[in-house]
Amino acid sequence: MTTQQPSSPDTSSRTPRVAIVTGASGGIGRAVATRLADDGMTVVAHFSGNRDRAADVVAEITHRGGSAIALGGDIADENAMADLFAEAAARFGGLDVVVHTAGIMPLAPIAEMDLETFDRVQRVNVRGTFIIDQLAARELRPGRAIINFSTSVTRLQMPGYGAYAASKGAVESLTLILARELRGRDVTVNAVAPGPTATPLFFDGKSTEAVEHIASLNPMQRLGTPEDIAEVTAFLAGPGRWVNGQVLYANGGAA
């Protein structure tokens, strides 16, 4: 009796691989985009509202010898994202990796958050993830990877993060179910759940004392960096083929 060996990406005839990184104009998204480019991938750097920062990401990648373009669009608009995926595939001949970092994080106690803000968080973080995952599931070539972004707050349960944590709980469920729905496709689906990470999104509205306190909560006694998160993402996008249907908590041991 012979046992069929698991397949691995055929990089000999499909180089470079093509990766879409949503939210690439943000702190973690930028680090992920440049890290994947360093691994030899052609990067489609998605942006929602900040074209200039996305252009900076592309310029950085090309300066380092990589290949990248910037494409924009509302992450929760199915037509805009379908156009983005279609343009990326048409330009580069196919798609291999989708990393979905885009999201928003308005904070307020549950008793005080207005429903308009709550709905906006769910639209961007949940609907946006559903749309990106749906397109990725339809378009990715075999032997490739979908990587969503959750948060360690789903475990830390910090006050003020109710709406955000609720949206990321949904992201985790979508991730684990999609991994099983893609049975037989040789496409991995995982989520990265960063802990507090030194990005503008994290620092917004926090005092120095609050930042120092949060940084002290994990055994490493520091905030994560975007590069820390990018390393985990690059593993899932490349050599981590036997990791599938998982949520990887990248938080320095906070929970």
Annotated catalytic residues are: 164
Residue 229 makes CB contacts below 8 A (sequence gap 6+) with 28, 31, 32, 192, 194, 197, 250
Rounded to 5°, the CA angle 153-167-68 comes to 90
Amino acid identity at 39: D
- Nearest one of 128, 120, 119, 122 to 148, comparing CA atoms: 128
Q: Which residues of 40-63 are buried (b: 16+ CB within 10 A; e: fewer)?
A: ebbbbbbbbeeeebbbebbebbee
